[in-house]
Amino acid sequence: MKQRTITMSLIITLGVPSLICFLVIFYYFFRLRHVLLMNRINHHVILCILISDFLLITTELPFTLSYLSLGYVRSSKLCLFWIYWNYTLPVVSLFLTMYAAIERYMLVFHKQIIMKHKILFHYIPLGFVCVYPFGIYMYLILSFPCGSNYEHDVAALLCGGACYLNDMVQSIYDTVVDTMLPAFIILIFSLMMIGHVIVRKHMVSPSIPVSNTLQRNRRMILQLLGISSMTLMTWMP
């Protein structure tokens, strides 16, 4: 009980300021929508990440807080939704960060390709990484046959977890494809970005501190490295 109380207090302490920050950021996105969204496609994925994490705080976190407060889930019927929502939204953010790492690398060093084929290389991939986690966990959690004798433990966190984790094939697929692969791609493209920046800086004349390409995209590069670092610290362990 004491551990649950400490955890709940910590979540609320961090969650409330986080929620306020989300609302402020959404306000500026709305206020500057023509500049941030209409003219700059690199902000689209950032907005999607913000929406996903905002939904995690406002719609999933109350289930966690309710469990930490009571020590059980009020109804076993809520278990499937809680598990589905808890598994899906973080993976949506992970896949969006993976896409952001790839797209930002392309926008910095191969921008013309993206801008010339925005539907093929921007909107379709962005839509896929948003939809895929909802689809795969709809199958693994809501549709996967677990057996008639499987029961969720309403007294355990996340009701004991999803039953597909007991199946080796589905469990390995989820671990490799939905966790390890995106994290690995984020790491690779972040390292490629750093390496490319170092090479570009040494290729320019000593009298010029940094190339025009890097100077023009400095904020986008720093934003990617910041987001990637936080994501990798969460998922790599």
> Is residue 82 within 8 Å of residue 130, measured between CB atoms?
no
d(CA 145, CA 223) in angstroms, rounded, equals: 42
Task: Please write the tens of the pLDDT for every residue from 137-192.
Answer: 999 998 887 755 678 889 998 999 898 998 899 999 999 999 999 999 999 999 99
Task: Please write the tens of the pLDDT for every residue from 44-98.
Answer: 999 999 999 999 999 999 999 999 999 899 887 889 899 999 999 999 999 999 9
Q: What is the DSSP letter of 37?
A: I
d(CA 151, CA 111) in angstroms, rounded, equals: 51
Give residue 110's domain range.
2-235
**Residue 215 pLDDT class (50, 70, 90 cuts):** low
Residue 41: HSE in the Cβ half-sphere, 13 Å Cα cutoff:
20
SS3 74: coil
The CATH number of residue 53's host domain is: 1.20.1070.10
Kindly tell me if the per-residue pLDDT of 43 is higher than 80. yes
Task: Please write the tens of the pLDDT for every residue from 115-135.
Answer: 888 999 999 999 999 999 999
Task: Please write the tens of the pLDDT for every residue from 165-176.
Answer: 988 999 999 999
The pLDDT > 90 percentage for the chain reads: 54
72 alpha carbon, distance to own chain's centre: 28
Indicate the pTM of the whole model. 0.89
Count: domains in the chain = 1
Name, in order, each residue with C-beta under 8 angstroms of 88's C-beta and a sequence gap of 6 or more. Answer: 133, 134, 137
